[in-house]
Amino acid sequence: MTQRSLRSVLFFLVIFSLSLIAATPLMAQEGTLDGQLLDARTGQPLPGVTLYIPELDRGTASDVDGQFSIDRLPYGEYTLRLSSVGYQTRHLPLPIHDEQVSLTLDLEEDLVGLGELIVTGQGQGLERYRLSTNVTAITGNEIDRLPTLRLDQILQSNLSNAQVRFTSGEPGTASLIRGRGVVSALTATTPVVYIDGVRVDQTTGFNLYQGTGGSQSSALADIPVENIERIEVVSGGAATTLYGSDAANGVIQIFTKHGTSGASRFELETVLGQTHGTRDYLRYDETGDILFTPGIVQQYRLSGSGGSDQVQYSFSGSMSGDEGVLPNNDQVRHSLRTSLQARVRENVHYRGSFAFASHEFSRDWNGNSSGSPLDVDKALFGNPESWDDSDYQARKEYILGYLAESDMSEDVKRYQTSQQLEVEILPELTARVVAGVDARQSGQFLYDTNAAQIAYGFEPPGTTDSGRLSEASRNFLGLTLEGTLRHETDWRRWNLISQAGGQVFRNDERQVRITAEGVPDGSRLAGSGSSTSGSNFRRTLINYGGYWLENLGYDNRYFLELAMRVDQNSAFGETIPAQLYPKVGTVWNLAGEPALRDAFESIRVSTLRLRGNLGWAGNFPTPFSNEVLASIRPFLDGQAIEFGTAGDEALRPERTRTLEAGLDLGVFRDRVILEASWYRSETEDALFRAPFPPSSGLGSALQNVGTIENHGIELATRINVLRTRDANVGIRGSLNTLHNQVTDNGGTSPFAIGGFGFLGSWVDEGHSVGHFRGNRPEYGAGGSIQDVQFDVPLGSPLPDYFGSLGVTADWRSWSLVASADYQLGAQGINMDEILRYINGAQDGRIPDQAVQDSGGNYTIFSSEWVEDTDYLKVRLLSIGYEFPESWLAGGFRSLSLAFTASHPFNWTRSKFDPEVSGQGVARGQGEIGVGGFGLGTLSSPRQYTFRIRAGF
């Protein structure tokens, strides 16, 4: 090597070494951020808090101990955003100039909830303060306080602007959920239900359902409530626009837990207690003495969560049993829900959930049916108050004997799954795809032995071949597919969020029913009967549509919402074009106005937001009612063809237009919160069963001819009476007004939607949907019948006012929860009293002279059995104790005890339970039911349970 070459090599080595020396500190210019997140009031660790650095598009979430860590952060000045459900979002400066930056941060509770993300009605999440509509959010903490496995019980304890009424205490039966009035005279008031973005079945009963005299099974009763993180509820109105042609009754959306990073944590819960029959509404003490026996209730639940920064999981499973209070009222539940989320790549996020539920139960005949246990209270066996001891024992043996000869059971299996994939295409553009399945299989079995038929009086003593068997099944398969694009952009003081998406829902139903007569004792096979018959039902329904939404904000004070849904459905006629559902809304955050800030502070106003919106939603017609169909029936070993569905080629969905205005007010640093809304909705093209001219021979057909109006005010308040580190006391209350009226019947005649011929639930112009009609007697001197007004309005099952009350209190390790609800201004029909009158046990409400004048025609006394149904019911009382961590050992991280009383107290004006509905639930699958008929139905039993929950 030449000297010149050697100098070149040495020069290169020197320069390379100096470069390495210089590069060493540059490569080291990265730091790690770690620390812990705490609740500002209690000092407790906060798991699941999202930490995000927008300048670097980096983030993480705190683990179950509130710990967090983000590594490889280049030196510099950044902003750290902290957000979590139920807490105020924080933005704070984040300087990274050291290799290790450790912080202890806290979050204040968001008492108004304006910072929380709302999904329902928005496609993807938007902060509440940007929304012109009112959405009720139920958090996981509120759900965890309730010892229940039923969705309707969770809703009842937490909804301020909707009624959730238990129509029966029988297992598996339906609840009546009603928000902003009754918008349809055709369809049930139950909202659409989603779980993790997948639409699920919420049907009450089904077309080939084995009736039990009044009560019907509900698909809501077996939705597994395991592992729920949050529930969002919209009672109806403009917020449901994006859900289209079957969302006018509102939307319930359930979101499941997906776990947090950190070591695996598990929780074991055991609930033991007793169920007692509610005697408040029984006419005779003997009824409860004969029928009610305290039943053991028990529940066992195991849950767990954990994971890494890349993958998190969560699961919960439970087993429960309830012996009930009647001979045939037991039930057993098994349920499991698992969830998983994973960051597949830096910009790809996966979420999946799977649920299984098994619900097996039995129940008795009820309502207006022979063999009902409550026949005792209807005085079917005479007045029990006149029995002596021997009569009592004989009646008891007889009644319990024939109850043992009947088997009425149902077995439900349900599978649900949701699969979601979210891709960040660009920092401001995100795509999401949701696919899911809801499969529900329901099998009903009814078997009355020969002894039961004889006891009912249907067959003479000694009969050996009169057993009756019936078996019905419904298989439902619902498929959901949805795709959404979301774009967010900022320009100076403007912010624009744009969303567009499309959805496809497909529902397949298969129903079969077999009935056998003359089944011999000992056999449970239809083929052993002397005669059998069967029927089946098949239906496939497809709905598809797209939506678009714009949310424009200026200076975080002014917001404008614009949205549109386009829908098409196989239930419409082929000649009906796609349906359009628009929405417009606006929000003004007055508390954010700089010119008003000082004035608001002087009067202690911390939050003041005005909002208003106008939107449309719909309700499906009964599928294929647009088609002209013939009915083919067996006749003389052949077939006979007659008119079936008359059809209407112009059939289209009902359209409900809702105008809403409201305000959100917080004073004294949001210690006192008021939410107020006024709404007016009008259902156009309401579906009524309009008659054809008699000469056509077609009877009636479903037609878009009616108009229904609802309007009211919704007031809800929350007052934080005390908030310290050791104590927290909050009270809440709500008041809702309701006015419902059919403003136009399109020239059709009044028609019944429930009840009986002499006293039913009707639809007619100028009255509420389902108002009562019957006869009203007028009495003269001595109680004689002077006159009778026939077929006149007698009241409405819809209340003028309703609402809820609640208290939550925490003091150190103790906690208290209480909830109640009420209604005023509604009426109901005491059908049990009518049957007692027929059976000769008149209670004196009708003058004796009038009874003689009637000549045995009880139908002229219809109005006498219509009663005011004002009530206040305490739904839940619970006292709990959390053991201090310093007391725990053996690997336990938490241990708590709780005592709960469900349905402990009732105050009502009516002599019957105003919630139980009997004939007023629904006449057919998915059809309207407004309640109001108290008829031989078990009231919700009282439960007293003790719960122990341990975490490890």
Q: In what order do the strands lie in the sheet with 760-763?
A: 751-755, 760-763, 771-779, 785-795
Q: Give the pair of three-digit tokens for residue 818.
A: 């209480």
Burial class of 207 by CB neighbour count within 10 A (0 to 12, 13 to 18, 19+): middle
> Which whole number is the average pLDDT over 168-188?
85
Contact 356, 414 (CB under 8 A): yes
User: Is residue 23 pLDDT above 50, yes or no?
Assistant: no
Q: What is the mean pLDDT of residues 932-941?
A: 88
Tell me how far apart the alpha carbons of residues 408 and 427 are, in angstroms, rounded to a whole number: 58
Distance, in Å, from the CA atom of 173 to the CA atom of 161, rounded to the nearest integer, reads 23
Q: Convert the pLDDT of each residue in 57-69 to its tens digit.
A: 787 888 878 888 8
pLDDT in the model for residue 879: 95
- 467, 521 in Cβ contact below 8 A? yes
Q: 87 or 339: which carries more pLDDT confidence? A: 339
pLDDT at 811: 93
Mean pLDDT of 131-159: 82
Q: Could you give the percent of the chain with pLDDT greater than 70?
A: 94
Look at residue 9 and tell me whether its pLDDT is greater than 60.
no
Please compute Rg for the chain using Cα positions.
32
Give just the sign of the alpha carbon dihedral 132, 127, 148, 923: positive
Q: Which residues of 761-774 are buried (b: 16+ CB within 10 A; e: fewer)?
A: bbbbeebbbbbbbb
Q: Residues 453-500: pLDDT tens digits?
A: 888 778 888 777 788 889 999 999 999 999 999 999 989 899 999 999
Give the global pTM.
Answer: 0.89
Helices (H), 748-868: 831-838, 848-853
Spacing of C-alpha 762 from chain mean position: 26
**Does 256 have pLDDT greater than 70?**
yes
The contacts of residue 377 (CB under 8 Å, 6+ apart) are 282, 283, 284, 287, 832, 836, 936
Backbone dihedral angles phi then psi of residue 202, each to the nearest 5 degrees:
-130, 30
Round to whole Å and give the CA distance between 210 and 42. Answer: 54
Helices (H), 462-555: none
Residue 875 has pLDDT above 50, yes or no: yes
Taking alpha carbons only, the member of 471, 481, 468 closest to residue 435 is: 481
Mean pLDDT across 729-740: 95
Encoded tokens for 351: 């979420």
Q: Which of 493, 676, 526, 660 is nearest to 592 (CA)?
A: 493
- The pLDDT-based confidence of 309 (bands split at 50, 70, 90) is confident
- Whether 148 has a pLDDT exceeding 90, the answer reads no
**Quick check: 661 and 678 in contact, CB under 8 A?**
yes
Max mean pLDDT range (193-202, 204-213, 268-277, 923-932): 268-277
Over 50: is that where the pLDDT of 425 sits? yes
pLDDT score recorded for residue 26:
46
Question: What's the whole-number mean pLDDT along residues 588-601?
Answer: 88
The predicted-structure confidence for 496-521, as pLDDT tens digits, reads as follows 999 999 999 999 999 999 999 888 88
User: Is the model more confident about 452 or about 896?
Assistant: 896
Cβ contact 159:232 at 8 Å: no
For the chain, give the percent of residues with pLDDT over 90: 45
The mean pLDDT of the chain is: 87
Q: What is the mean pLDDT of residues 32-40?
A: 90
Q: Which of 21-25, 335-339, 568-572, 880-884 has the lowest mean pLDDT?
A: 21-25
**pLDDT recorded at residue 910:** 95
Q: How confident is the model at residue 25 (pLDDT cuts 50, 70, 90)?
A: very low
For residues 645 and 628, the answer to whether their CB atoms sit within 8 Å is yes
Long-range contacts of 859-862 (CB under 8 A, 24+ apart): 859/758, 859/759, 859/774, 859/775, 860/775, 860/777, 860/785, 860/788, 861/775, 861/777, 861/837, 862/758, 862/759, 862/774, 862/775, 862/776, 862/794
Q: Which of 516-530, 550-564, 577-591, 685-699 has the lowest mean pLDDT?
A: 685-699
